């Protein structure tokens, strides 16, 4: 029985493919992008999160923790992640509701039963089901089975991916995918490694494979100030996309909506000084892609 760790099943999504969609977020990602707005999706196992803004400092979590991983500071509680085994006992003990789990093990059937509840909205809006993450292709058997179930029930399927996956994973999932939302961050392999922790060789090869498959593709580029928004990176990216015969590009402006999650997971967000691009700067990037005869728009 195929199982995976699911962070969230989000209904009424409108930015993860056409129409009204239900997006299934998988837990686990091979990349470590410094601007990641979903740090809770990076590790492949369930994790305890704590919100110090809700913490009453009652100490119940400290007393009950079998791993002795929790301490109380002036800012609130702190979890020593080298000791924590994510048993969840502190969540049960928290009377203030300051603690929660990120991630739940689910079967394909459990997920499918959830997403099919919104089938009526998919049919009336031209929407469907999107698998996202994290990185869904870390679980190719699960994703292939889930998307096959969706297609057999006349539901449109989309795969949102960073592209870091082997050919076998793609061969399992692509036959059941109606649309690929493919993240492309940096064209230069050295810069890609610096900012994401991985070379982009596998990713670019994957994009070639998807382009050759004939499955519709939308390229998604997060526009990160001072990291990938240079004219050279955008020109090189546009040329690469054009040469693959692809047409549609979505630019996703930088934001810090997920920065607070880092503290919840006892991590540090290192890009606090970055400021989003102005509309004029974003328009200049759009012009670069349009000059290569690509259909480019800003998606916020």
- Per-residue model confidence (pLDDT) at position 6: 98
Indicate the pLDDT class of residue 132, thresholds 50, 70 and 90: very high
Strands (E) in 133-209, as ranges, are: 156-161, 179-183
Residues 136-149 pLDDT 10s: 999 999 999 999 99
Phi, psi of 289 (to 5 degrees): -70, -35
pLDDT at 133 over 80: yes
Joined together, the tokens standing for residue 215 give 């499955």
Assess if CATH 3.30.70.20 describes domain 47-102.
yes
Residues 246-274 pLDDT 10s: 999 999 999 999 999 999 999 999 999 99
Joined together, the tokens standing for residue 12 give 């009424």
- Per-residue model confidence (pLDDT) at position 76: 80
Which residues on neighbouring strands pair with residue 78, listed in sequence order? 71
Contacts of 85 (CB under 8 A, 6+ apart): 66, 67, 69
Residues 37-52 pLDDT 10s: 999 999 999 999 999 9
pTM (predicted TM-score): 0.94
Residues 78-121 pLDDT 10s: 999 999 999 999 999 999 999 999 999 999 999 999 999 999 99
Residues 151-199 pLDDT 10s: 999 999 999 999 999 999 999 999 999 999 999 999 999 999 999 999 9
**DSSP codes of every residue in 73-139:** ETTEEEE-TTT-----HHHHH-TT--EEEE-EEEEHHHHHHHHGGGHHHHHHHT-EEEEESS-GGGS
Question: Domain 3-43+105-298 in CATH: superfamily?
Answer: Aldolase class I (3.20.20.70)
> Are the CB atoms for 161 and 183 separated by under 8 Å?
yes
**CA–CA distance, 239 with 232 (Å, rounded to integer):** 11
- Per-residue model confidence (pLDDT) at position 42: 97
Where along the chain do its domains lie? 3-43+105-298, 47-102
What's the DSSP call for residue 32? -
């Amino acid at each position: 029985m195929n199982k995976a760790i699911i962070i969230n099943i989000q209904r009424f999504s409108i930015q993860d493919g056409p129409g009204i969609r239900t997006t299934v977020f998988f837990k686990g990602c091979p990349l470590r992008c410094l601007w990641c707005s979903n740090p809770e999706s990076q590790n492949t196992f369930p994790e305890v999160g704590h919100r110090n803004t809700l913490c009453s400092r009652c100490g119940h979590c400290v007393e009950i923790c079998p791993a002795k991983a929790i301490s109380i500071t002036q800012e609130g509680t702190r979890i020593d992640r080298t000791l924590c085994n994510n048993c969840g006992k502190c969540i049960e003990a928290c009377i203030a509701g300051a603690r929660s789990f990120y991630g739940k093990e689910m079967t394909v059937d459990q997920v499918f039963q959830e997403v099919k509840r919104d089938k009526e909205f998919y049919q009336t809006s031209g929407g469907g089901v999107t698998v996202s993450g994290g990185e869904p292709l870390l679980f190719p058997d699960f994703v292939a089975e889930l998307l096959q179930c969706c297609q057999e029930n006349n539901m449109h399927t989309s795969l949102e991916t960073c592209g870091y996956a082997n050919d076998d994973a793609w061969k399992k999932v692509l036959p059941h995918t109606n649309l690929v939302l493919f993240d492309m961050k940096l064209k230069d392999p050295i810069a890609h490694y610096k900012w994401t922790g991985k070379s982009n060789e596998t990713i670019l090869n994957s994009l070639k494979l998807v382009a050759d498959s004939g499955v519709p593709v939308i390229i998604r580029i997060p526009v990160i100030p001072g990291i990938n928004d240079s004219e050279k990176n955008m020109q090189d990216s546009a040329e690469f996309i054009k040469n693959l015969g692809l047409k549609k590009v979505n630019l996703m402006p930088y934001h810090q909506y997920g920065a607070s999650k880092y503290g919840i997971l006892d991590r540090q967000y290192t890009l606090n000084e970055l400021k989003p691009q102005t509309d004029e700067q974003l328009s200049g990037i759009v012009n670069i892609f349009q000059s290569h005869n690509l259909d480019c728009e800003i998606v916020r």
